[in-house]
Amino acid sequence: MDTTFESFKLSENIMKAIKEAGFKEPSPIQKEAIPLILKGYDIVAQAQTGTGKTAAFGLPSISMINEHSHRVEILVITPTRELATQVSDELFSLGRTTGIKTVTVYGGSSYSRQIGLIDKGASVVVATPGRLIDLLKNNRLRNFTPKIIVLDEADEMLDMGFLEDIERIFSYMPKERQTLLFSATMPEPIKKLAKKILKDPQYVSVTPKDSTTNTDIEQQYYVINEYERDNAILRLLDATDPIKSIIFCRTKKEVDRLSNHLMAVGYIAKGLHGDMEQNQRESVIKAFRSSQLEILVATDVAARGLNVTDISHVFNFHMPFDPESYVHRIGRTGRAGKKGTAITLVTPNEYHSMQRIGKKVGSNLNHKLVPTLLDVNKSRLDKMAHDITHVELNNSDAQKLLNLLEEKMDMSQIALKLISVIMSKNSPQGPDKIGFDKNSISGIIKRLAEKERSKSNKRYGRNANRGGSRSYRGNRSSRGSRRRSD
């Protein structure tokens, strides 16, 4: 008998959220983990990123909590603030029909704002280790006794030197709790941690063969300067000539700006994000499905559940925050047995993060150079020659036009003028060269590796001196509360 979401006996509001999200059937990790979580077990779950882990712990956890308690009932701990934001957004979306409030807590933002949002009745807190420890050790969280605690990306915590921090956090947690540990890999330190913080856990493992990697998708990335993003995306659109494509952006503001820019230069494009009215969203999706649109510019959450089978290309205008988002994005192409191409724009500072994503999801990422104007023009000439050679002569108006033109000029002039007219339309723009060549990238990678080693040495040295009481990532100014970016 096939496992369905209905068979889990989730709450009515959660079932409504599942339908709105467009989930059809549970993924392997969801089939294994959700029933155990609903029965109250602690679990250790091993699954690769991109298998639906957030929904695997989010759906049952939200389904079980008291929607009217006005206190924190779920705590999710993530290694980075980018992942914290992503998880918080998804949990908010899954719990939207229940009315729960979700707050994201990480360094670099106002303590008082974060505490105030929690005190106003947050049901779910998604936090990074450093800021959470600061709040706990200074007794700034009142009545903070979450019933369900999720440790997400545990192996990433290990890589970043956070295991001591995690143990310290759990010393503040109530003994009566349900603890869920999720990790892509299970090195020995993670196994030891699980024994310390979990009680008689059930073990769930989804092997790579269960979470299939789509071999029909060619995955490419291009290393560029930050200021070259617009020129790079236009050049790649000109060079690849996609049949139908999605360009993913991080924010609603970026979706609006880029979609308007693409329309201004002649592409048939529209944006899709969470601030649009429902009838607007439906209209855009309908136009995209029926191929009235060439390009859909969208945020992650807005494109979730989008079922279109003939998307030839997916572009990541900005690199996604985490591997799971990457897998979700590129999964929009290469469907129903068709081939697809996924292209990601990466700055030098993002290079190692891109490599980490490739390693996490088990993908073969191909580095490419952004085509020059000469490359694109040659490609266009070849395509035009092919199209002209193979076009069928079944248009009577074409013969009439040729007869008319022959009265004024010879055949060679007619051909050259017609080709000039065709080539002048939508000709590629921008500088000749965009991004870095292979030699430049090799030098950049070497400098970044040396910088990373230096940071790592300082981090672990500080960790030993201070007992792991803080997060060692730099605190950049950013939002502290959960703000939707779809």
pLDDT tens over the chain, length 486 residues: 578 999 999 999 999 989 887 788 898 999 999 999 999 999 999 876 667 889 999 999 999 998 777 899 999 999 887 788 888 988 998 988 888 899 999 888 888 899 999 999 899 999 999 999 999 998 899 889 999 999 998 887 887 788 899 999 999 999 999 999 998 888 899 999 999 999 999 999 886 544 444 678 999 999 999 999 999 999 999 899 898 999 999 888 999 999 999 999 889 999 998 788 878 888 898 899 888 999 999 988 666 656 677 899 999 999 887 777 788 788 888 876 788 999 999 998 888 788 888 877 777 889 999 998 888 877 777 777 767 777 777 777 777 777 888 878 888 877 777 777 666 655 666 777 888 877 777 777 677 666 656 655 554 454 444 333 333 333 333 334 433 334
Residue with tokens 């970016």: 485
Output the CA–CA distances (angstroms, integers) from residue 164 to 59, 119, 170, 322, 469, in the order listed. Answer: 29, 28, 10, 23, 8
Residue with tokens 């990433």: 156
Output the CA–CA distances (angstroms, integers) from residue 385 to 134, 371, 430, in the order listed. Answer: 66, 20, 24
Please report, in angstroms and rounded to a whole number, the separation of the first and last CA atoms in the chain: 36
Q: In this structure, are residues 130 and 109 in contact, taking their beta carbons and an 8 Å threshold?
A: no
Q: Would you list the DSSP string of 376-436?
A: HHHHHHHHHHHHHHH-----HHHHHHHHHHHTTS-HHHHHHHHHHHHHHTT---S-S--S-
Query: At CA 118, angle to CA 157 and CA 10, rounded to 5?
Result: 75
Domain pair 6-205 / 217-373+431-435, same fold: yes
Our measurement of the distance from residue 10's CA atom to the centroid of its chain's CA atoms, rounded to an integer in Å, reads 27
Domain extents in the chain: 6-205, 217-373+431-435
Residue 422: predicted pLDDT: 66
Residue 486: predicted pLDDT: 42
Q: In this structure, are residues 301 and 93 in contact, taking their beta carbons and an 8 Å threshold?
A: yes
Q: Give the span between the Cα atoms of 148 and 439, in whole angstroms.
A: 50
Reading the block at residue 374, the tokens are 């000469």
Residue with tokens 């947050």: 122
CA dihedral 51, 53, 54, 55 (to 10 degrees): 80
DSSP 228: G
Residue 485: predicted pLDDT: 38
**Of 222, 180, 213, nearest in space to 49 by CA:** 213
Q: In this structure, are residues 130 and 107 in contact, taking their beta carbons and an 8 Å threshold?
A: yes
Overall fold of domain 6-205: Rossmann fold (3.40.50)
CATH number of 217-373+431-435: 3.40.50.300
